[in-house]
């Protein structure tokens, strides 16, 4: 038989290298929830990828291949889906929106969200964004004058909740000035609980509720009440405005155009035969609130770790920001905001070293063969992000915090391949914090605008110093990888 005609049998999942585990438990005892992502990365360095670990008796394959990650993400949602337990648990939370929803329901919801978060919409929304940023400046000004320590993570979450609510739903809860508004604290409980339940060996909460579960349940009741009241107010406003429009232009055949995501979703839901329910609208409201609050706030918080410990870098960012802001305390216009590349770069580089999403969890909808491995439908797949971003083939001197690598990328985006760059390797495709393919994060432009506004405002108006030893700050994985703390002292410039 000709050797060329011999087909090579694919490897099976059980053929992959694996860390030693225990019967029934598998590797569960080796994966503390708060730091399990670091263990997965360590095993990748020791065993190579792909490898397999066992979550109880369930095998989970782990991959570290940028080209494969892009290929898999291009084939979502038709050939791959997000890890199924995530959708199932978010359904229980009433939060199965665009982030986790699968199948035919995804595409129409995606169009609505993309329209709400489009560049023209955010440009029109810019004055409100600037006003909320000024509100954050006043909060920090008061803290600086009082000489207190600022919990930057909490303040940044308040900021992003206010922005997301005002942009997507047309109502601003003003959590920055109203300390009694609890929604920010309640939303902050959702992702940690999602992580707890996704990683639980069985669905314990269906049989017994621990104090933490009961606290979370009460918080979700309050959040959903807030969302339903928001929907009712929006519907009433839409009916009132439609009646006024009808009186003003009696021959008009269409209702006023929706002005935000919630109005668009409600108009679609209330259309005859839409097939969309109030529960689905509420789930997307909650999804937007959580996604808008957590990821952007965390990206900025990680940047503060580097700004607060590097006086020279902070002075440089401050000078760059002041050149753009002029005499203004906050960037005065959308056009000027586009000149704040360095302010975004410090956040992008921080999240390269401390990725907000340490890995993407997926499973194929049908049997696939990847890199010579046969994966039956439903096989769990973790696609690690950080190892590729710490690979010198992708980024020059990868352990070094260097925001300029992203400025260089913009200056040379039409030049020769990254490997020939005078600064060394820069493979931007290895940076997957906003995902890729059809399900790339629809809020990435809004996140960039928020980063530029907050970092420029902070550095132009204050000197910030980290109020703890940097060694005390650790990554904590609560579905996203957040800093354990980020206390800072602010001083007026």
Residue numbering of the annotated binding site for heme: 441
Q: Is the preceding omega at residue 257 within 30 degrees of 0, hence cis? A: no
CA distances from 156 to 184, 289, 453 (A): 10, 14, 12
Asked if residues 470 and 305 have their Cβ atoms less than 8 Å apart, the reply is yes
**What SS3 class is residue 246?**
helix
The rounded distance, in Å, linking the Cα atoms of 101 and 177 is 34
What helix, strand, coil percent values describe the chain, rounded to 5? 55, 10, 35
Q: Is the preceding omega at residue 77 within 30 degrees of 0, hence cis? A: yes
The rounded distance, in Å, linking the Cα atoms of 170 and 127 is 14
Q: How far apart are the first and last CA of the chain?
A: 80
Residue 220's nearest CA partner among 204, 209, 232 is 209
Strand-by-strand arrangement of the 149-151 sheet: 149-151, 487-492, 462-466
Residue 271's nearest CA partner among 252, 282, 285, 258 is 258
Numbered residues of the known binding site: 441
The rounded distance, in Å, linking the Cα atoms of 246 and 255 is 8
> Would you state the structure tokens that stand for residue 138, as one six-digit string?
């006043």
Residue 189's nearest CA partner among 159, 219, 148, 144 is 219
> Would you state the structure tokens that stand for residue 92, as one six-digit string?
């229980």
CA 41 to chain centre: 20
CA distances from 177 to 140, 372, 377, 488 (A): 11, 56, 50, 19
Q: In the beta sheet, which residues pair with residue 62? A: 51, 382
The rounded distance, in Å, linking the Cα atoms of 240 and 55 is 54
The rounded distance, in Å, linking the Cα atoms of 397 and 365 is 39
**What SS3 class is residue 149?**
strand
Residue 164's nearest CA partner among 201, 129, 206 is 129
Residue 98's nearest CA partner among 232, 231, 266, 280 is 280
Using the structure block, give the residue that is written with the tokens 């263990």. Answer: 39
């Amino acid at each position: 038989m000709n050797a060329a005609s011999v087909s090579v049998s694919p490897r099976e999942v059980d053929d992959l290298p694996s860390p030693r585990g225990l019967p029934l438990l598998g590797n569960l005892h080796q994966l503390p929830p708060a730091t399990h992502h670091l263990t997965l990365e360590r095993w990748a360095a020791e065993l190579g990828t792909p490898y397999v670990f066992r979550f109880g008796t369930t095998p989970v394959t782990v991959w570290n291949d940028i080209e494969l990650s892009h290929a898999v993400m291009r084939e979502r949602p038709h050939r791959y889906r997000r890890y199924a337990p995530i959708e199932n648990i978010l359904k229980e939370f009433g939060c199965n929106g665009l982030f986790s929803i699968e199948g035919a329901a995804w595409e129409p919801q995606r169009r609505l969200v993309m329209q709400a978060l489009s560049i023209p919409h955010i440009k029109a929304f810019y004055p409100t964004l600037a006003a909320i940023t000024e509100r954050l400046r006043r909060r920090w000004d008061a803290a600086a004058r009082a000489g207190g320590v600022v919990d930057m993570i909490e303040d940044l979450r308040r900021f992003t909740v206010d922005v997301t609510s005002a942009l997507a739903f047309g109502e601003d809860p003003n959590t920055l000035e109203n300390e009694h508004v609890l929604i920010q604290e309640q939303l902050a409980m959702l992702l940690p609980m999602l992580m707890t339940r996704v990683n639980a060996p069985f669905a314990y909460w269906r049989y017994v509720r621990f104090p933490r579960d009961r606290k979370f349940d009460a918080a979700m009741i309050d959040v959903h009440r807030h969302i339903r009241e928001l929907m009712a107010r929006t519907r009433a406003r839409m009916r009132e405005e439609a009646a006024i429009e009808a009186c003003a232009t009696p021959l008009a055949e269409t209702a006023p155009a929706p002005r935000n995501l919630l109005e668009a979703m409600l108009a679609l839901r209330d259309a005859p035969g839409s097939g969309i329910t109030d529960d689905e609208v509420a789930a997307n409201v909650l999804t937007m609130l959580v996604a808008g609050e957590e990821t952007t706030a965390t990206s900025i918080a990680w940047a503060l770790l580097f700004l607060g410990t590097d006086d020279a870098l902070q002075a440089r960012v401050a000078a760059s920001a002041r050149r753009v802001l002029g005499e203004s305390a906050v960037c005065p216009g959308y056009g000027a905001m586009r000149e704040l590349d360095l302010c975004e770069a410090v956040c992008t580089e921080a999240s390269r070293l401390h990725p907000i999403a340490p890995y993407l969890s997926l499973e194929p909808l049908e049997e696939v063969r990847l890199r010579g491995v046969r994966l039956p439908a439903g096989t769990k797949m973790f696609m690690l992000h950080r190892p590729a971003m710490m690979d010198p083939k992708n980024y020059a001197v990868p352990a070094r915090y260097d925001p300029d690598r992203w400025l260089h990328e913009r200056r040379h985006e039409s030049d020769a391949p990254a490997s020939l760059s005078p600064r060394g390797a820069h493979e931007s495709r290895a940076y997957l914090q906003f995902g890729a393919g059809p399900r790339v994060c629809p809020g990435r432009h809004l996140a960039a605008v928020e980063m530029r506004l907050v970092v420029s405002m902070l550095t132009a108006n204050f000197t910030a110093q980290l109020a703890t030893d940097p060694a005390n700050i650790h990554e904590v994985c609560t579905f996203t990888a957040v800093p354990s703390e980020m206390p800072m002292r602010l001083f007026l410039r």
